[in-house]
Structure 1
Amino acid sequence: MHIRRAVPADAEELCSLLNEIIRTGGTTALETPLLAAEFTNWFIDGEFTLVCHVAEHDGLLAGFQSLSLYGDPPKGFADIATFARTNPKIPGVGSALFPATRAAGEELGFEFINATIRADNVSGLAYYTRMGFEDYDRLVQVPLLDGTPVDRIKKRFKLGTSRHTSSE
């Protein structure tokens, strides 16, 4: 798997990948599909975007991971988002992306990377735990667009540590 920085030309394919995840539901707080221009602004070169990496596998963009300041995180924190293609499912995308994202967070001088995950996103919670993220807060009963309350688990990864030893 090849990891590189995302560029605006990746937006259409990555937006399609993300929109499929959004339409399936249950694993992202995002509930409304994005247009490619919105995707570019949110994840590649927008005001709050810090870095976005993509994983390429057999000619496909298999997934992406971004760091941003979206949502005004606490001082010293960058926020992470990770999305992997569901069709076809390609194992190991998140694990392949994290070292580049972690290095970028360290280079940018952040102390922590924050992940906010829906409590019903079992695979997302497991992924971030495998990467070495630890629970530190919980947002209780955040309503989805349809009004369904779902907790959000906040996990953080302390940069400058070497806890990531497992694979996806």
Structure 2
Amino acid sequence: MKLQKLIPAFMLMGAVSAANADICKQAPGSVTCGKGTVSRLSGNGMVAVNGTIVEGSTIINGMLTATDATFGLLNINGSVSLMQCTVNDSSEIKGSLSASSSKFEKSLDIFSNSIRFINSKINNNLQIHHTDSKTQEVYLDNHSEIVGNIVFDDGHGIVYVRGDSKIGGSVVGGEVVNN
């Protein structure tokens, strides 16, 4: 009797895995995801996401390029390019970030020399951690907003504020340049 109850559960798990396989295609060194929802995403190398909802964690060692996507948590070792994306949980990026028309609902921890936001928003703090670079730069362009603080751990940061962008909190360990 118990076996009869388990069979539908295993069939459902197989269907969910098959659905994830239809949304994300893996090849050596790359992952490409299209429209649909997946529970989590991981990859090494080039990862391209277009129209995908990732409910849980996204863990990537390589480069992430995403358009019109929603993520739970980002943990990226490599460069990130986001266009019209939403990140719902606190995230960490070890590499460059370019975000256009995107939103981070919680805090962002980043290890990078250069971070660019274009018409994008962080609803919490932006923490820029140590790198080997002498200066770290954050560009806020075209109505971008950091609701919380911007904190440079190394104390040598520059925030360029342009195009009606704004910072809701303070800048710690850096200076603000208004253009």
Q: TM-score, normalised by structure 2?
A: 0.28
Greater relative contact order (CA < 8 Å, ≥ 6 in sequence) = 1
Q: Decide which structure has greater helix share.
A: 1
Q: Which has the larger radius of gyration?
A: 2
